[in-house]
Structure 1
Amino acid sequence: MSMLEVKDLQVYYGVIQALKGISFHVEQGEVIALIGANGAGKTTTLQTLTGIIPAKAGSIIYEGKNLTKTPAHKIVEMGMAHVPEGRRVFADMSVYENLLMGAYTRKDKNEIAQSLEMVYKRFPRLKERTGQRAGTLSGGEQQMLAMGRALMSKPKIILMDEPSMGLSPIFVNEIFDIIKEVSESGTTVLLVEQNAKKALSIADRAYVLETGSITLEGKADDLLHDESVQKAYLGE
């Protein structure tokens, strides 16, 4: 049984169909990349998986349970965390307060403190800025904060939406190194990313999404060298 299995997922915005019956699966421990152009439905997919947008039809099976009508906060409690597009940090709250918000579904204070130390170890820059307002951080630091906040929920699977968006090349490399570390520590990763080359370079498998439909899937390395993928998404 797959950790996450999406079957015939359909999502509408009014009369416009954003997802046209997509199906894919994620195995425990994998890094799965979901690539495609703007407007392909990548963000909609993640928001539907985490209960932010309702599905019109289809099913989302996570660890054998159907999540299709499960509220977003319950999905977090079940071990699925979401790093949203654009970071969405709480600008007027401190780094520390933002991180604690990520643990709002957890009760054990000792375990929360351990998770906080783990996040600070993985993101030393956040520890240095623990009392600083999140809105005053750089884009790369805010991305680290969004990732750290998601890790505070102690997720089994983390969904990342465009983590490299708007970042300098140095920060992009740093963020992708951290994604690899998160994966190697045992957390499954579903990665939506416009930087297809970077995404495919760290993923195990990948799916190509075009106007609400999955048009291609396979091992990430195979797609990295696929001529149609290179022309469409790798600028080659």
Structure 2
Amino acid sequence: MLKVEDIHVYYGAIHAIKGISLEVSQGEIVTLIGANGAGKTSILNTICGLIKPKSGKITFEGKDITGVATQELVKRGLTQVPEGRRIFANMPVYENLELGGYLNKNKKEVAEDIERVYNRFPRLRERKNQLAGSLSGGEQQMLAMGRALMSKPRLLLLDEPSMGLSPILVKDIFSIIKELNQQGTTILLVEQNAKMALSIAHRGYVVETGRIVLTGMAADLLDSPEVKKAYLGG
């Protein structure tokens, strides 16, 4: 479904992404794990058109999308939930969701989609008229995911969904991610909580200083001595 081939990304003179290649097949959860600053977010931002690679190629569902504008990718079914959530803090919850469905000009369908989001995240229904900035961290993450689902993505890119959340909420968010996947959404997940990410993913890639240093089935990576030592605290 997604193929990234030998991409190189520079920030000025800094060579941030050094020839990364990866694949995501339809129906999978694939995770990128690695330390802070390893380049995981840069990879997602390059895939979704926010950063233009210096070289390399990205294909989505067989079509070259290298450098294609982000809003065009959303139309094609590829959506990102960014790190830090980036909700519209001064707008109520329901308006944030309406903005997520901006591509759909059919108001009735948008209302039905919002209803589906509320069914998935009942807390958002309770808070629908509340300003998004007044929500708790977990609720804001639910809103960011709900807003992304409004565009009916076939591939969802999630950047650090557990960041800043309590352990109980982390569990909730990960079970929602698993559920979304079981209902047909393919997921590429960037996550510092390697243990949680690998426990729900099918496959994983370990990123270090802009390179992929290890790849394999998630269960094998969970058992890998290098991964245990570097990321699982053991």
With the shorter chain as reference, the TM-score category is over 0.9
Instruction: After TM superposition, give the deviation of residue 105 of structure 1 in Å.
Output: 1.7
Q: Distance in 1 between matches of 2:27 and 2:202?
A: 10
Instruction: After TM superposition, give the deviation of residue 7 of structure 1 in Å.
Output: 0.1
Q: Show CA shifts across 1:135-184 (max 9, x none).
A: 00000000000000000010001000000000001110000010011101
SS at match of 1:116: helix
Partner of residue 150 from structure 2, selected from 152, 160, 163:
152
Q: Distance in 2 between matches of 1:118 and 1:48?
A: 30
Q: CA RMSD in A?
A: 0.7
- Alignment correspondent of 1:17: 15
Alignment of 1:92-131 (within 5 A): 92-131=90-129
- Alignment correspondent of 2:71: 73
Could you tell me whether the CA contact under 8 Å between 2:51 and 2:67 is conserved in 1? no
Give, as a single letter, the amino acid of the residue that structure 1 aligns with 2:9: V
SS at match of 1:34: strand
- Alignment correspondent of 2:232: 234
Alignment of 1:36-55 (within 5 A): 36-55=34-53
Instruction: After TM superposition, give the deviation of residue 113 of structure 1 in Å.
Output: 2.0
Instruction: After TM superposition, give the deviation of residue 101 of structure 1 in Å.
Output: 1.0
Q: Distance in 2 between matches of 1:68 and 1:186?
A: 25
Instruction: After TM superposition, give the deviation of residue 36 of structure 1 in Å.
Output: 0.3
Q: Distance in 2 between matches of 1:49 and 1:93?
A: 28
Give, as a single letter, the amino acid of the residue that structure 1 aligns with 2:221: L
Give, as a single letter, the amino acid of the residue that structure 2 aligns with 1:92: N
The TM-score, its normalising length taken from structure 2, stands at 0.99
Paired residue total:
234
**After the TM superposition, which parts of structure 1 deviate over 3 Å for at least 4 consecutive aligned residues?**
none
Give, as a single letter, the amino acid of the residue that structure 1 aligns with 2:228: Q
The TM-score, its normalising length taken from structure 1, stands at 0.98
Q: Which ranges of structure 1 fall in alignment gaps of 5 or more residues?
A: none
